[in-house]
Structure 1
Amino acid sequence: MSSKQEATFDPKEHQHLRYNPLRDSWVLVSAHRMKRPWAGQVEKPAEEHVPRYDPCNPLCPGNTRANGEVNPHYDSTFVFENDFPALQPDAPDPGPHQHPLFQSKAARGVCKVMCFHPWSDVTLPLMKKEEVVKVIDKWAELVEELGATYPWVQIFENKGAMMGCSNPHPHCQVWASNFLPNEPALSDRCQRAYYQKHGEPLLLEYAKQEAEKKERVVVESSDWLAVVPYWATWPYQTLLLPRRHVLRISDLTKDEREDLADIMKRLLTKYDNLFEVSFPYSMGWHGAPTGPYLEGDNSHWQLHAHYYPPLLRSALVKKFMVGYEMLALEQRDLTPEQIKSEPTENSA
């Protein structure tokens, strides 16, 4: 028998692995690492002053874009075809592959840009609730429109220069593809496997469990809750979930859309107030596949949104996914429970 008594496990002090059921993968949690001094890269402060209207900004109402088209003088949301799309609807087929190690196949689709608001100096948390509802309604409309043809419609927003967004005007992108991309394909497989084994949608059961435990809930309402996932990789990552079984954003009721607008504003305000900065992030919606999948059974799916902010210690220090995380396993420092308990409750 060892003379040294084994320490009692404390998740805030001892490294451990956590399972991500949406990706069938693990994340290393090493909370004790936050005690180490920081001498790494510090980002430049974000530009504080953004003009409400910039005659040189291609996203502003009435301005000319790179392709020569002139934006209308819009006063709400505005959607247009991306001037530099990653996917086009008429790309040629590469043909059959000659070797199993060198495979390619056709990639077709459309890419759209959606402006949230005519003003450049507002973000979603600063918009009125009814304006955010219009954003949600347009998202739903685009999923229905593009999803009638394409298997996957990805809504995503990159906010802030730290996330590679070069234009401060509030906007997102919507890409529709003739294939199921890697992340939703993996999520589809994992949710299906859980449903087949347990007879309940994975994320519906997860939302119920988190609502009961309250350990990681950031904001909640009658129809929605946002949590720092048990398996979160990014420090301030959150997962936004409906309380009832919903396959796609286009399936939300009027009341659920209004409640979603409210909880999005609350969540994003908390983000902004955390470090007193317009919080950068990448976010996106995942729902049941569309196109040919509309006729199939998608009961295993549950609509949800991912928020992935890069910040770690302050508004100027971000987390890097490098080294061990690129080559071996994703790792985080603070536990999700510690993140949730940070003093942001007065910022809703």
Structure 2
Amino acid sequence: MSLDPPHRRKNLLTGEWVLVSPQRMNRPWQGERKSTAAAARASHDPDCYLCPGNLRSGGQHNPAYDAVFTFANDFPALEARETSPVEPGGFFQEMPARGEARVICYSPDHSATLAGMEDPQRRAVIEEWCRLSAELGARWDHVQIFENKGAMMGASSPHPHGQVWASDYVPTLVEREDACQRKADGSLLANVIAAEDEASERIVASNAHWQAVVPHWAAWPFEVLLIARDDVRRLEELTYDARDALAAILGRVLTAYDRLFLTDFPYSMGWHGAPHALGEDCAHWRLHAHFYPPLLRSAEIRKHMVGFELLAETQRDLTPEAAAERLRRLM
């Protein structure tokens, strides 16, 4: 099989480089293998701390909710309370960090997933994302909405849910994206959309309001970048039609993920919008979401960021073009 030679690609959003080594897809594998067969989940689990009516780990009872349900995280990574200021100076540096964290239960159905929902159900989750971005963004510098799906990605519960962490600072990766978009000629991600539309080989799915691609610089095997075609900076700016279109394209992409290895596909995903700390100084931003799934060759074999990746720079075997083609075939 003819393969491209090893080469490096630049991540335009962060400025980092990725080593692409397509020839390694032919190497034998005698590494980690494990069964991923999962028992069918009931629609309600009496032991699940996210199901309606159940007792949460923090001691609160969930209401008998019948739609999307959001609550303050019982074990938040950030707290809103004031802390003592850090004394300046010294060799080691630190700074206070404040914020708040919430959990979003996508559905009362314990067995549901975003991929398996109907568009109206996904639309309800999108509405909650938009609402929380606006509400928390009025108080905090940055609002990070994300989902860890599957035990492989560290999800503490199989119940369909995501999280929101709002902070009084702009996190490191978002700062890098802000800097790269700010110095670009025009809108960086609008330029990416135009270039990907022309190339077409990395597009997974597309509609009038969204483009889903395996980005040219993808680090994870089946990574997807979902970019708003409309000139919007934050979730709350999305129009009614754009929210409908988002529900539809999410269904297509996530269903393709599940079909790829015939498994309930694990991933981490998250939204990047202009930090609210920027106020109106965000014309360079374009709303987008990242999907980082770990699986590489099958439901049993995942990509490990180890060795060279930890010590030197990110590396991938499967080219983004080959990954996009495989996902497109499953639409």
- Tell me whether the two structures share a fold, i.e. TM-score over 0.5: yes
Q: 2:75 aligns with which of 79, 84, 96?
A: 84
Cα offset, 1:91, TM superposition = 4.4
Question: What is the TM-score normalised by the length of structure 2?
Answer: 0.97
Conserved? CA contact 2:148–2:155, under 8 Å: yes
Conserved? CA contact 2:105–2:162, under 8 Å: yes
Which runs of at least 4 in structure 1 moved beyond 6 Å after TM superposition?
none
Give structure 1 stretches of 5+ with no counterpart.
1-9
* Aligned-partner Cα distance in 2 for 1:293–1:170: 32
Partner of 1:6: none
Partner of 1:119: 109
Does residue 286 (structure 1) correspond to residue 272 (structure 2)? The answer is: yes
Cα offset, 1:48, TM superposition = 3.0
What does residue range 214-293 of structure 1 map to in structure 2 within 5 Å?
214-290=200-276, 292-293=277-278
Cα deviations by residue, 1:251-303 (Å, 9 ceiling, x for unpaired)? 0000000000000000000000000001000000000011x422x41011000
Conserved? CA contact 1:11–1:335, under 8 Å: no
Partner of 2:86: 95
* Aligned-partner Cα distance in 1 for 2:298–2:39: 16
Number of aligned positions between the proteins: 331
Conserved? CA contact 1:12–1:335, under 8 Å: no
Secondary structure, in 3 states, of the residue corresponding to 1:256?
A: helix
Q: 1:332 aligns with which of 295, 304, 316?
A: 316
C-alpha distance 62-150 of structure 1, shift in aligned 2 (>3 A): same
Letter in 2 for 1:14: P
Letter in 2 for 1:257: R
CA RMSD in angstroms comes to: 1.4
Cα deviations by residue, 1:84-114 (Å, 9 ceiling, x for unpaired)? 1110001413422331x31111100000000
Question: What is the TM-score normalised by the length of structure 1?
Answer: 0.93
C-alpha distance 330-345 of structure 1, shift in aligned 2 (>3 A): closer
* Aligned-partner Cα distance in 2 for 1:130–1:73: 20
Rg comparison, structure with higher value: 1
Does residue 176 (structure 1) correspond to residue 159 (structure 2)? The answer is: no
Partner of 1:129: 119
What does residue range 195-210 of structure 1 map to in structure 2 within 5 Å?
198=185, 200-210=186-196
- Between the aligned residues of both structures, percent identity stands at 48
* Aligned-partner Cα distance in 1 for 2:306–2:241: 42
* Aligned-partner Cα distance in 2 for 1:86–1:322: 26
Partner of 1:106: 96
Cα deviations by residue, 1:5-41 (Å, 9 ceiling, x for unpaired)? xxxxx99330001011111111000000011100111
Conserved? CA contact 1:208–1:243, under 8 Å: no
C-alpha distance 275-126 of structure 1, shift in aligned 2 (>3 A): same
Partner of 1:341: 325
